[in-house]
Amino acid sequence: MEVLDRLVSHIQIRPGQTVFEEGDEAKFVYNVSRGHVRLFKLLQDGRRQITGFLAPGDFLGLAARQTYAYSAEAITEADLCRFKVGELETLLEEMPQVRERLYEIANDELAAAQEQMLCLGRKTAKERVASFLISQLRHGAGCGDGDAEFDLPMSRSDIADYLGLTIETVSRTFTALREEGLIGLPTTHRISIPDITTLEASTEA
Amino acid sequence: MEVLDRLVSHIQIRPGQTVFEEGDEAKFVYNVSRGHVRLFKLLQDGRRQITGFLAPGDFLGLAARQTYAYSAEAITEADLCRFKVGELETLLEEMPQVRERLYEIANDELAAAQEQMLCLGRKTAKERVASFLISQLRHGAGCGDGDAEFDLPMSRSDIADYLGLTIETVSRTFTALREEGLIGLPTTHRISIPDITTLEASTEA
DNA sequence: TCGGTGCGTTGAGCGAGGTCAACGCACCTT
DNA sequence: AAGGTGCGTTGACCTCGCTCAACGCACCGA
């Protein structure tokens, strides 16, 4: 990975700013070094589906196709490392184990996408929100089994478009989970989970 | 690909029979040579999300993880080529371009999964069914721009679990599309599309 | 020929989540 | 302090798709 540093340029983006748009020619690959990013697809009439949230360390633009299959925007202020796909290809010929790593990353993303399909197709609003909170906990903060607390950098609107719900339903579901004691909401963008096991139990059935 | 033939064993499975189940140790990789296969995940109470349908030529079990992330069952009678993942790994060291091909396959599947997330999260029942029919047309039969006709090997129940709907809604939507003249239904498992352009227009907005 | 079974279709009624609207609050700018 | 804006919450009502139920039809074995 140190080899990458020679090829890399660093860019900074502001909240809401676009990194690239679906259909743009895929010239660059990025890695998030600071902040959070959302990936999404749009329908013509403006309906939006967020396909993933990225945290520091995550890659974007790895699709290996002519054009990007989704758009990417910063959620918070963010720093990205950027390098040309052509140079990545050159690197891959020298270091085949990097391709192996990319393959693993693609497969992890695929498994996450399939889990999300299960969520969108077959879970109730409450189950979707509970699943989302647990995956955010695991992906971001640590996963101590006892009490846990972490930040949600994205807005209710982002969460709604990720879970296939409306803003109002997300808000009502947060309130319901809080009233049941399954979560705490110290602030609107911070979640505490008194007991992960019981919350996990409400992610299905 | 001819090298693979040395490692391959051929297996035959009957409609409804299981190829492997989510959580099984991932010892084999498969390729469909005849028939159709469904991939799916289950919730504890039996709710099912089908994550994909496979046609001849498609791979399954490529996840490159300890265990399979989904279950696989035959839809029709099917023939599969099977080979051990360990032997695949050996092959990959000799032929790095195969890994490159696997990476492309994983990325194609990822793009399809993201498109499906958009479908499940943000499209109406009619849009989902129209999208599904068009993707089946493209994936299976040819894509001549004029009149087109093709088979749907899967049941209404499979389609429902793929689109996040119920059997009844799928059935009603087929009927509605037929009454609007957007599709024809020569038999329950055969679709004709008089004009792809107008059907495509009803996949969104 | 006659039930039996599986699958698809259709109808009637219902409910989870969407829509529309009001409001609260934090954070601006002037 | 006053007004404006963006975001989140809450309430009232509605609708799309789900549930429950009946029925048709093809296929099958006795």
pLDDT tens-digit map of B59-84: 998 876 899 999 999 999 999 999 89
pLDDT band for B2, please (50, 70, 90 cuts): low
Q: Count CB neighbours of B203 within 10 A.
A: 19
In the three-class reduction of DSSP (H, G, I as helix; E, B as strand; rest coil), residue B144 is classed as coil
CA distances from A118 to A27, A164, A203, B103, B160 (A): 32, 12, 11, 24, 13
A107 → closest Cβ in B45, B48, B106:
B106
Q: Count CB neighbours of A173 within 10 A.
A: 21
pLDDT, one tens digit per residue, over A139-172 is 875 555 557 899 999 999 999 999 999 999 999 9
CA distances from A28 to A3, A19, B58, B148 (A): 17, 10, 30, 39
Instruction: Please choose, from the candidates B58, B57, B64, the residue with its C-alpha nearest in 3D space to the C-alpha of residue B88.
Output: B64
Nucleotides of D under 7 A from a protein CB: 7-12, 16-21
- CA–C1' gap, B155 and D28, in angstroms: 20
Q: Count CB neighbours of B143 within 10 A.
A: 11
- CA–C1' gap, A18 and D8, in angstroms: 24
User: What's the confidence (pLDDT) of residue A86?
Assistant: 86
Q: How many whole angstroms separate alpha carbon B98 and alpha carbon B81?
A: 17
User: What's the confidence (pLDDT) of residue A65?
Assistant: 83
Would you state the structure tokens that stand for residue A30, as one six-digit string?
């990025």
The residues with which B149 forms a beta bridge, in sequence order, are B192
Q: Name the closest residue on chain A to residue B115, using Cα atoms.
A: A41
Compare B7 and A41 and report the one with higher pLDDT: A41
Contact B108, B62 (CB under 8 A): no
Q: Which stretches of chain A score pLDDT less than 70?
A: 1-6, 64, 141-146
Contact B155, B36 (CB under 8 A): no
Contact A79, A35 (CB under 8 A): yes
Q: How many whole angstroms separate alpha carbon B46 and alpha carbon A115?
A: 15
Per-residue burial over B99-133, b if 16 or more Cβ lie within 10 Å, else e, is: bbebbeebbebbebbbbbbbbbbbbebbbbbbbbb
CA distances from A168 to A43, A154, A173, B103 (A): 21, 15, 8, 40
Q: How many whole angstroms separate alpha carbon A33 and alpha carbon A55?
A: 8
Would you state the structure tokens that stand for residue A168, as one six-digit string?
């109002």
Task: Indicate yes or no: strand D within 7 A of the C-beta of B126.
Answer: yes
